[in-house]
Amino acid sequence: MNVTVNGKPMVLEPGTTVEGLLELLRVPRQFTAVAVNREITPKSEYATVKLGDGDRVEVVRPMGGG
């Protein structure tokens, strides 16, 4: 299935969860937040929320700023 992660197209196995995506991207869990189609996914639901075809995913972390 096709999803968009941080604005970039990605092809994922059907049934990939948020947890699976973070694993694939090697993003640490601490201080990370995820939103799928503008809705924030609570950390407690990473393992259960399955991504769907056409989903738009945002994966954010703290970066340098003022």
Partner 1 sequence: MYDTNLVIGGKEFSSRLIVGTGKYSSNDIMRQAHEESGAQIVTVAIRRVSLPGSGESILDFIDTKRYTLLPNTAGCYTADEAVRTAYLAREAGLGDMVKLEVIGDSRTLFPDVQGLLEATKTLARDGFIVMPYTNDDPVVAKRLEEAGAAVVMPLGAPIGSGLGIRNPYNIKIILETVAVPVIVDAGVGTASDAAIAMELGCDGVLMNTAIAAARDPVAMARAMRLAVEAGRLASKAGRMSKKLYATASSPLEGVPDWTS
- Residues in contact with partner 1 by CB under 8 A are 5-8, 22, 25-28, 30-35, 38, 40-43, 58-66
Q: What phi, psi does 41 have (nearest 5°)? A: -95, 120
> CB of residue 39 vs partner 1: minimum separation in angstroms?
10
> CB of residue 31 vs partner 1: minimum separation in angstroms?
5
In terms of Cβ atoms closer than 10 Å to its own Cβ (0-12, 13-18, 19+), residue 57 is buried
> CB of residue 10 vs partner 1: minimum separation in angstroms?
9
Cα of first residue to Cα of last residue in the chain, in angstroms, is 38
Nearer to partner 1, 1 or 22 (CB): 22
